[in-house]
Amino acid sequence: MDKFLIKGPSRLRGKVNISGSKNSALPILASTLLFDTPVIIKNLPNVKDIDTMLSLLKSLGLRVIYNRKNSSVKIIKSKKIKTFVSYSLVKTMRAGILVLGPLVAKYKKAITSLPGGCLIGARPVNFHLNALKKLGMTYKIKGGYIHAITKSILKGNEVKFPKISVGATENLIIASCLADGHTILKNCAIEPEIKDLTMFLNKAGAKIKWIGKRTIKISGVKSLKKVEYSIMGDRIECGTFCVAATLTQGNLKIKGFNPKLINTELKLLKKVGANIKIFKKEINIRGPKKIKNIRFLKTKEYPFFATDLQAQFMVLFCKGLGRSTISETIFENRFMHVGELRRLGAKISIKNNKAIIEGGANFEGAELMSSDLRASVALVLAALSAEGESIINRIYHLDRGYEKLEYKLKQIGANIRRINK
């Protein structure tokens, strides 16, 4: 099992090119099940979750021509499409549930395994199922699988999500494209990745319109047309490198991403002392000599502070001046990195959904264990700012969502090496 060997401390300097967004690519790839015509997707990140999704689409009968060097894929419908999604394909990835909507919308049935992924919370699928039920889908859960069917084409309806859910919003947008009549989705997630999905589908002939801040109107169409589309840059990768520069007194030019999409996080980094210059598709960021604390910070749905950057900011606050508190409101089990940060010398206490971080920690290298995707990268950042040698185990979590992480870090001055054992 691969691991990272990191020798710190490092001061990161140079240029970083941001890869395509995993969280944008996955629903777009799932939506290709709606098409009768070829689809070309560009700027795909070379990460494990994308490989898993492409394998899933292949297993359903789609022809997948993946050009890894060019970060692009061509997907072509075959004559025979299957509607069974095996547990073996979705056990490591939550996004497997996203094929449920398009399969039922296009082929009127699906048997799909309940999803896997990171162990950071329940993330129930009932929002997806109850919403699709309003469009005419019926289902039962048996043996860990969702057995879904619809007697006829899905029917447009009004759906209000009881809680903001990125995945459920995506699933319903995709399914509603081929539904009969109009669908109104209320209390939708508004992450940039969802806007990317709607732009892709509209380019293919879908009729999706935002009619309020969190309200979408979708007028069903009979079919979607051939399309070529380039995925947006990954805002979590961008945010992670911004934190890395701030943490290590670094100086980075981060390219290939729209800074407006992480405006909240950039404001926070300015508060802790980072010097930031923003351009159209570039962020220049220089870390301070002393990191200031932020007394209280709460994760919340976009456009507020992203839960996927919570662990990275916690590492930053460990080095800050004074006490900081982070309240995690999205997932109930997202402080799994705290125990590992303590091994490096962090002083963090947990009270319910709050982490109280005492600043001024002097990290010393240690052997660490990754627990999920974003926690893993937080441990990498901590190791980069620690004195001495650290080993990070179970980095397969990182490979799910960060493209060429060790290569990108080496290019900007990190002493990091992948070990195969």
Catalytic residues, which ones?
A: 118
167 φ/ψ angles, rounded to the nearest 5 degrees: -60, -45
3 state SS of 305 = coil
3 state SS of 248 = coil
259/279 Cα distance (integer angstroms): 7
23/214 Cα distance (integer angstroms): 19
192/163 Cα distance (integer angstroms): 18
Owner of token pair 């508060």: 271
First and final C-alpha spacing in the chain: 5
Strands 145-149 and 138-142, by their bridges, are antiparallel
Strand blocks (E) in 232-353: 251-255, 275-278, 282-286, 291-292, 296-298, 320-321, 323-327, 347-351
421/368 Cα distance (integer angstroms): 15
120/90 Cα distance (integer angstroms): 16
Which ranges of 135-283 would DSSP assign to H, the alpha helix?
Answer: 166-176, 192-203, 235-247, 263-271
54/63 Cα distance (integer angstroms): 10
Query: Which two structure tokens, joined as six digits, stand for 163?
Result: 């809680």
152 φ/ψ angles, rounded to the nearest 5 degrees: -145, -175
Q: 3-state SS of 363-388?
A: CECCEEECCCHHHHHHHHHHHHCCEE
Which ranges of 68-165 would DSSP assign to H, the alpha helix?
Answer: 87-90, 100-107, 126-134
Strand order in the sheet with 354-358: 296-298, 323-327, 354-358, 347-351
Strands 320-321 and 291-292, by their bridges, are parallel
Query: Which two structure tokens, joined as six digits, stand for 229?
Result: 């589309």
381/244 Cα distance (integer angstroms): 6
